[in-house]
Every structure is written in structure tokens, then in C-alpha cells.
Amino acid sequence: MKARHKRLGFLLVGLVVLGAASWLVFNALGNNLSYFFSPTEVAENKVPADHVFRLGGLVQPGSVERGEQLTVHFDVTDNAHTVRVAYTGILPDLFKEGQGVIAQGRMGSDGVFVADEVLAKHDENYMSPEVADALEKGHQKGIENMAKENKPL
Amino acid sequence: MSGRLSFYRFSSPAAFYPLAGAIGKVSALIAVVLLAIGLYMSFFVAPTDYKQGEGYRIIFIHVPSAWMSMFIYLVMAFWAGIGLVFNTRLSSMMAQALAPTGAIMTFIALWTGAFWGKPMWGAWWVWDARLTSELILFFLYIGFIALQGSIDDTRRADRAGAVLLLVGVVNIPIIYFSVKWWNTLHQGATVSVTEGSSMSTIMLQAMLIMTFAFWAYSVAVAMYRVRSIILEREKDTRWVSELPEVRR
């Protein structure tokens, strides 16, 4: 065995050990590295009580209520559970109904999540307004067609 | 057989020096042309985004630089590994030559991301898994440059740098898959090898042209830098003293 084969062996074994070690570390850390909790995790009481945490999900369409001054109420949903959120302040430009958001704050005793920071989460879709429009129309049409097909039943 | 021989010939710095000059020149030319086309497409041809408006155009810089920041690191680690195993001088020089470009790409990715994040997310910076691991990548580049620069004996400097680079490779899959493994504020991959892309074709074309432009730029500056490193490290040899640009 030549010296360079030995070195290559050391290097490969080292990389495998390193990979295994980091896999174990990240497995142990698990969800602690997540940036936010989902409404389902809130419903299952997996979130820290009496502690600041982040809540992420979609803004439920039709749930946004603008109150006095700058206080806004809205529901954050993951389509399984919803959490009511109250926030006083300026919302980011991308904030709207159906949009992903991440709110930081704590659970109030009344079950309303009181946020002191709201960030908009962008999705991975990039398209022109015309395409988005066409997609939306196609979606509506699809729903109408389905409704028509279901009528005789 | 002769093909193999002529390929290995270029592992000698003296043989690679003129080749690096030629590759550097061609790559620089390609980079300029692609950058001109890519920037024109990014600003004037690609349509406005339906949700983000004009602000999304930062991806034409952000995504290519972020890809390059990860790719350059892998290439550096590859050369460092080859240098460590086979003791080839040129491999270590290649790793050293790529480091500043990789650091710059990482910095551009972080900086443009912050510029985009403020209006879109509402925050310049958050400590989510994607952003944090990319910041660690930046520190790895800086750490490699500092470590290599702090040791006078080049052989020892190369070896120490190579070990640091190889250990840091762990970070690359973490950056890439962070948006998949954990909940992050950063969105998931728009373009993926396995799932295709979820952006309009013209946007994708502009972004890919920008990526190739960044690629060509990185090759060009790395080649010019490796020529300087070769000259510096081989300054006492005869072939360097006989170069026309050195003799003068």
C-alpha cells in the first residue's frame, strides 16, 4: 500500500465519520432547528407555554379584521388547525389573505396569539401577472365545471 | 496512453501557467458577453412578478451567487482533498485561488438577500436554518483564507487549509436542504434537478444565463489568481525567471 493510498483511506474514513457525526447531531436536534411552529403543533400543545415562539402558516382568507389604530386580527392556518392572531404594527408588503406569514409572540390566556412581529413568507413560485391571472381563471373554471358535474347527483 | 500523459502534464505549475492564461482570457470574454445578455434580459425582457412586483429581479443576482458560493466551496474542497492525498502542488494552489471568489459570492448572496428580505419579509435578517448556514459558509471561507495566510510554510498552510475545507463540506448539504429539512422563513427551491422549476420560462432563462456568466467570471478570476500564486510560489525556479513578463 502506497503512502497516498493510505492518505486517501484516512480522508475517506474521516469524511464518513464526520458525516455520521453530523447526521447524529442533527437528528438529535430535530425540530429545534425549525424557525416556526405550525397551528397543528399549537393545537397539540407542542409549543412552549409562557414563552415567546414563532407561529407560521397561511393567512385564512376572509379572516383579516382591521381594528382601531393599527391592531389587526387574522387567523393563521395550516388547513388542519387555525390560530387567531392579534398584531399591532405595520405589516410587510407581501402580507395578504392566503399568503404565508410567520408571527413571533406568545399565546394569550384567551387562546389568541399576541404577535409583536409579523414576517411574510414568500413561496417558491415566480410568474408574470398575466400567467397568475390565467391560472386563477382556470382554477375558477375548474371549480365551476366540477359544480356543474356534481349537480345531477 | 499519450492522452493520459498530456493531461497529467498540466499538474505541473510550469505547464499550467500558460494554459491558465488562455483559459482566463476566454472565460473573461464569455463572462462579459453573458453578463451583458443576462442583465439585459433580467431588467428589460423578464416580466414583472405577479406578487412581488419589480423587487423580485434581485434573484437574477442572488440565486446565481448563492449557487456559486456552494459550488466553489465543493470545487475547493475537491482540490484540497487531491492536494492532501497526492501532494500535488497545483491542487492546493487552485483551492487557494478560488477562496476569495467564493467568499465574494457568499457575501453577495447574503447582501442581496437582505435587500430583498427587508421589503418582502419585513426583516433584513432572521436566524433561520438557511440564512444561518449560509453565514457559516462565509465564515468558513474567511477562516480558510486567514488560516492559510497565517502559516508561513506553504506545505503546512496548504495541509491545514485542506483539513478545514474538508470538515466544512458538511455545511454544503445543510445549506442546500435546510429549506426542506426544517421550517424556515426562506422559501423552498424554485429550481430543482428532480422537480423542475416553478417560475416562468423567460425568468428561468435569464437566471441560467446569469448563472453561466457568474461561472465564467469565477473561472476567469481564479485562473488569473492562480497564475499570480504560481509566480509567487515558484519565484526561485528557472522557468519563472525565464518568462518574458518576469525577465524584462
Over residues B97-123, mean pLDDT: 93
- Asked if the structure places residue B230 within a domain, the reply is yes
pLDDT digits (tens, 9 = 90+) for B74-105: 999 999 999 999 888 899 999 999 999 999 99
- Asked if the structure places residue B197 within a domain, the reply is yes
Q: Is B44 on the interface with A (CB under 8 A)?
A: no
Band of pLDDT at residue B7, cut at 50, 70 and 90: low
Residue A11 to residue B166, Cβ atoms within 8 A: yes
- What pLDDT does B160 receive? 95
Neighbours of A116 (CB within 10 A): 12
pLDDT surpasses 70 at B2: no
- What pLDDT does B210 receive? 96
Q: Is B114 on the interface with A (CB under 8 A)?
A: no
Q: Say how far apart CA A107 and CA A84 lie, in whole Å.
A: 10
Most confident by average pLDDT, A29-43, A87-101, B1-15, B107-121? B107-121
Asked if residue B161 lies in contact with residue B95, where contact means CB atoms within 8 angstroms, the answer is yes
Domain count, chain B: 1
Neighbours of B145 (CB within 10 A): 16
pLDDT digits (tens, 9 = 90+) for A48-92: 777 888 898 889 888 888 877 778 899 998 888 889 999 988 888
Q: How many residues can be counted in chain B? A: 248
Q: Which domain holds residue B133?
A: 61-247
Pure H helices in chain A: 3-29, 39-43, 129-150
pLDDT surpasses 50 at B32: yes
- Asked if the structure places residue B237 within a domain, the reply is yes
- Asked if the structure places residue B131 within a domain, the reply is yes
One-letter amino acid at B186 equals H
Band of pLDDT at residue A151, cut at 50, 70 and 90: low
Of residues B13 and A35, more confidence is placed in: B13
- Asked if the structure places residue B101 within a domain, the reply is yes
- What pLDDT does A141 receive? 76
Q: What percent of chain A has pLDDT over 70?
A: 93
Band of pLDDT at residue B3, cut at 50, 70 and 90: low
Asked if residue A94 lies in contact with residue A83, where contact means CB atoms within 8 angstroms, the answer is no
Of residues A110 and B166, more confidence is placed in: B166
Beta strands in A41-112 (DSSP E): 53-59, 65-66, 71-77, 82-88, 100-107
From chain A, the residues in CB contact with B56 under 8 A are 126
Distance from CA of B188 to the nearest CA of A (A): 6
Q: What percent of chain B has pLDDT over 70?
A: 95
Q: Is B136 on the interface with A (CB under 8 A)?
A: no
- Asked if the structure places residue B133 within a domain, the reply is yes
pLDDT digits (tens, 9 = 90+) for B54-81: 888 999 999 999 999 999 999 999 999 9
Residue A121 to residue B185, Cβ atoms within 8 A: yes
CATH class of A34-121: mainly beta
